[in-house]
Amino acid sequence: MSTNGGKKLTPEQVESMGDRLYVQSMEMKKKKLEALDTKYYKTEETRKLSKAEAEESAMRQVNQEMEMRKKRREQLEKKVHKEEEIRTFSQEEIDESVRRMYNEPMDIKKKKLEVLQKRYAPEPEKGKKLGKNQQSEMANRLCQPKKQVYTDDEINKVYGF
């Protein structure tokens, strides 16, 4: 109700106004939805089937489903259990396969190893080689002590006494 000098509404008028604003608008919306449903979702009137027609329809649907399942099972069995012919390879095919699967990767691996060897492990310097006599003389010379006899002071010095 308005207190600013405007028209005062009676409780019946307020109720009728609420009815008009809410209830009537909801009814109009419902009618529009029903009209759209009938327009886009057309349904035929139901008809009753006789018992014989119902059994015939059920049997037809069951038989169709069973046929479809049977065909699908046969297709899957053919796909899974298909007979593959045994194939023998000629010696050239075997050699080609070995070359492709083993030799080529090994060659690639060797080339990579050579590159890494050159980069990270340089070759040692080449020096002169000694003969067997020279090697044995050098070994004897290096194994023999320079001094054969040691004094007590030298021994104590070595052992820290």
Cα torsion angle, 124, 129, 132, 137, sign:
negative
pLDDT digits (tens, 9 = 90+) for 5-60: 678 888 888 888 888 888 888 999 999 999 998 888 888 788 888 899 999 999 99
3-state class of 89 per DSSP? coil
pLDDT digits (tens, 9 = 90+) for 64-75: 999 999 999 999
Q: Are 9 and 3 in contact (CB under 8 A)?
A: no
Asked whether residue 147 carries a pLDDT value surpassing 90, the answer given is no
- CA-derived radius of gyration, the chain: 53
d(CA 159, CA 161): 6
Asked whether residue 89 carries a pLDDT value surpassing 70, the answer given is yes
Indicate the pTM of the whole model.
Answer: 0.28
Return the closest-CA partner of residue 130 out of 119, 141, 146.
141
pLDDT digits (tens, 9 = 90+) for 114-141: 999 988 887 777 778 888 999 999 999 8
Asked whether residue 2 carries a pLDDT value surpassing 70, the answer given is no
AA identity, residue 135: Q
pLDDT of residue 1: 47
pLDDT of residue 78: 86
pLDDT of residue 5: 65
d(CA 79, CA 71): 12
